[in-house]
Amino acid sequence: MARIALNRPSRLNAVIPQLVRELLEAIEQADRSGARVIVLSGRGRSFSSGYDLKHEVVGSPPDNERTERLSRIQALTTRLRNSPSCVIAQVHGYALGAGAELALAADFVVAAEDAVFGFPEVEAGLSVTGGVSAILPRLIGPARARRMMILGERVDGQQAYEMGLVSHVATAADLPAVVNALAETVRSRPVRAVEGAKRLLEEGTWTDLATALDAEVRFALRAQDSGEALAAQQRFDARSSGSQAEGA
């Protein structure tokens, strides 16, 4: 398991170009190491307060420089969603703007009850990035997405869980333990089956039914060919037989 922490606590882990580059490198290294799970968190009082506007240089940078910065932010979402590792975002404090976008690129988002999610870009005269214009309405519906993106409404961790924005919610004290338990559950599953499920969910979200059906066949064959699959099936059959015996 690889743990990657945003490390600008004095600025509530506000995102700057260097942080994006370091995250891309850390994720690539975790993937190369064969990590089954990546836990993404933030040091200090928050996950991330968003893009650091105070870090911007005086004057307007050239278009090619701005395009390069934006491309790296977009690449971060792509890297997380395409990673063979299962990515868990451990969110406490603020997850705003680019911070929320980073969290939503994960496979699972475990939020503290008092975490705060929001997208203040429109109010600041900016635009969202990280694919959130597509991801957010798929998670919570277009109406709620408009309220968060255009009106700038914020939600806490419990509200985020109830609307489907995050997968798990916990008290601040229990947050690390819940994340660790989730990571161990993922690690206990067969590698190819987890990778296949992640890829199928990703492809199925953005493609038509016919393409999804073809992809399911492809990944089913890959999963069935692994030695882990046989062992997992034997364990599953043993548990099923035991349950039936108890009920007889």
- Dihedral sign, CA of 33, 224, 197, 184? negative
Catalytic site positions: 101, 121
Q: Where would I find the beta strands (DSSP E) of the chain?
A: 2-6, 37-42, 86-91, 94-96, 108-112, 116-118, 155-156, 168-170
Distance CA 108, CA 37 (A): 11
Distance CA 244, CA 184 (A): 27
Contact partners, residue 111, CB within 8 Å, separation at least 6: 91, 92, 95, 117, 157, 160, 161, 166, 168, 169, 170
- With CA atoms as reference, report the closest residue to 100 among 134, 141, 128: 128
Distance CA 5, CA 90 (A): 10
